[in-house]
Amino acid sequence: MGKKWFTYRGIEEFAKDIEALGVDVSLDAGRTAMFRPVRIGRLVAGNAWAIHPMEGCDGTAEGAPDELTFRRYRRFGAGGAKLIWGEATAIALDARANPRQLAINEATAPALGRMLEETRRAHREVFGRDDDLVVGLQLTHSGRYSLRPVIAQHDPALDPATFVDRKRGLTVTPDHPILTDGELERLEDRYVEAARLVARLGFDFVDVKQCHRYLMNELLSARDRPGRYGGSFENRTRFARNVFGKIRDAVGGRLVLATRLNLFDGVPFMNDPHSNAGIPRPHPLPYRWGWGVNPDCPLEFDLAEPLRYIGMLRDAGVELIDASMGNPYANYYILRPFDTPSWNGYDSPEHPLLGVDRHFRAAEAVQRAFPALALVGSGYSWLRHFLPFVAEANVKRGRIAIVGVGRGALAYPDWVRDLLERGEMDRRNACITVSDCTTLMRWKHNAPGQYPTGCVPRDKVYAEIYRDGKKALGAQAPLPVKTFA
């Protein structure tokens, strides 16, 4: 167990740590900026709060939402955030990252429609209206992390950490085939078919996912790939540009186009056997296989290509972008600053505030370059009940248009409602970033091959699931760090 980072008894101690670390994290006690309407293309969200696409790993074997899925979205709908970003939904069953991930097709469409309607109904029941609630759905292909793993390029640092058969311990080898141009071209059309369903179901926007080293993110860095989809910047962005163009032609003005986009991949990490802290896996220099990465120092971001690409996306009609970074399988401390690692994970190699600051600086660079863009920022859950102070400051300063919350929303889906009704968050309900939600995502030792995920410390439903999983696993897993409030 590594160091516990969040030990602040009050905001004054938090402010002292900000100063000592030299990070650009501001605090503002106001509540005006976050509760102003935000324009997203032809849509208007009633406030500047968003819920990130957070997978519940709780769908049916056929890829439809199940009862825990409906429960989660009802809670999101009643919580008060005006932008709800529906979770990763695979464009094909074998493109799912786990056997309980959602998928979109004619068979699952009715249940996805019910998920949308229950989200909106829950919002209306609490707030009396839903015309200022914006709800979308994320389309994904999990690529090298799919149930049927496929790769768009080889990566000498990531391939040895990518399992193609976990039970037998087999990882990607240098002779592993890459997707052909023909296969990719057919996948473009599958995205379009999925987007037609998203429009038919009445969602407000469709997200074409390009983050976390899933397929479309990997294509952006495929410098060594031959053919139409690799090598040059134009080729590496071709797949996404084709997909967005085809979706725009297919659904016209019925859907706002959106994407959750990595600004920075980084290099894969592993456990240091001596300290259990995360350390980089062996990697060549210059490191050519990442997106938004400084090739000579791949622990640093280089936004030259992401900024150029976002300009292309804007010109292609994309009006909403959720800025992310990192890889949940390989360097998750970049994606989600945390206090306690998940089961079998490594301790954070840095103070989590440095990770928060990395998110803020990268997103700010994009927002300054494209001030009219509806950009959603990440990296906020670690802040706990100080979240409103930081969010208010960032939006007032023009660093970001919309503040998104991911794991924090699993723990405390009604934090916005509490801010409206009480003027503050209840610290007893806030996410404590102990990574039990990720532990549940990583556990596969039950009959479906996947445990549903949620907040173990704050939600009795998932505390029971965690205890059942621990009992089935044996003594390898720790008990939850705290019990629910």
How far is the C-alpha of 34 from the C-alpha of 424, rounded, in Å?
A: 13
Taking CA atoms, 372 is separated from 66, 252, 282, 311, 369, in Å, by 38, 21, 40, 12, 9
Contacts of 164 (CB under 8 A, 6+ apart): 149, 170, 171, 172, 176
- Angle at the Cα of 189 (from 158 to 289), degrees rounded to 5? 20
How far is the C-alpha of 393 from the C-alpha of 377, rounded, in Å?
A: 13
Strand-strand pairing, 256-262 and 269-271: unpaired
- Residue 234 CB-density burial (10 A; 0-12 exposed, 13-18 middle, 19+ buried): exposed
pLDDT of 479:
47
pLDDT at 171 over 50: yes
How far is the C-alpha of 91 from the C-alpha of 458, rounded, in Å?
A: 32
For the chain, percent of residues with pLDDT exceeding 90: 95
pLDDT of 3:
80
Residue 3 domain flag: no
For the stretch 24-70, pLDDT in tens is 999 999 999 999 999 999 999 999 999 999 999 999 999 999 999 99
For the stretch 143-153, pLDDT in tens is 999 999 999 99
- Angle at the Cα of 325 (from 370 to 30), degrees rounded to 5? 60
Please provide the distance, in angstroms rounded to a whole number, between the alpha carbons at the two ends of the chain: 23
How far is the C-alpha of 261 from the C-alpha of 267, rounded, in Å?
A: 17
How far is the C-alpha of 435 from the C-alpha of 456, rounded, in Å?
A: 9
Residue 206 domain flag: yes
The helix/strand/coil state of 199 is helix
**Would you place residue 407 in the very low, low, confident or very high pLDDT band (cuts 50, 70, 90)?**
very high
Six token digits for residue 364: 């700010």
How far is the C-alpha of 480 from the C-alpha of 455, rounded, in Å?
A: 10
Print the domain residue range for 96. Answer: 11-431
Residues in the chain: 485
**What average pLDDT does the structure give for the chain?**
96
What CATH number is attached to the domain comprising 264?
Answer: 3.20.20.70
pLDDT of 483:
29
- For the chain, how many structural domains are there in total? 1
How far is the C-alpha of 462 from the C-alpha of 464, rounded, in Å?
A: 5
pLDDT of 476:
52
How far is the C-alpha of 3 from the C-alpha of 56, rounded, in Å?
A: 28
**Would you place residue 475 in the very low, low, confident or very high pLDDT band (cuts 50, 70, 90)?**
low
pLDDT of 167:
83
Residue 296 domain flag: yes
pLDDT of 481:
38
Residue 450 domain flag: no
**Would you place residue 482 in the very low, low, confident or very high pLDDT band (cuts 50, 70, 90)?**
very low
How far is the C-alpha of 164 from the C-alpha of 173, rounded, in Å?
A: 9
Report the amino acid identity of residue 382. W
Q: Are 263 and 301 in contact (CB under 8 A)?
A: yes
Q: Are 398 and 41 in contact (CB under 8 A)?
A: no
- Residue 372 CB-density burial (10 A; 0-12 exposed, 13-18 middle, 19+ buried): exposed
Average pLDDT over residues 381-395: 98
For the stretch 275-314, pLDDT in tens is 999 999 999 999 999 999 999 999 999 999 999 999 999 9
pLDDT of 474:
83
DSSP 143: G
- Residue 304 CB-density burial (10 A; 0-12 exposed, 13-18 middle, 19+ buried): exposed
Residue 252 domain flag: yes
Six token digits for residue 143: 């690529």
Residue 229 domain flag: yes
**Would you place residue 1 in the very low, low, confident or very high pLDDT band (cuts 50, 70, 90)?**
low
pLDDT at 116 over 70: yes
pLDDT of 2:
62
Residue 287 domain flag: yes
Average pLDDT over residues 123-136: 98
- Helix, strand, coil abundance in the chain, percent, nearest 5: 40, 15, 45
Tell me how many helices (H) and strands (E) the chain has. Answer: 15, 15
Residue 316 CB coordination number (10 Å): 17
pLDDT at 87 over 80: yes
pLDDT at 485 over 60: no
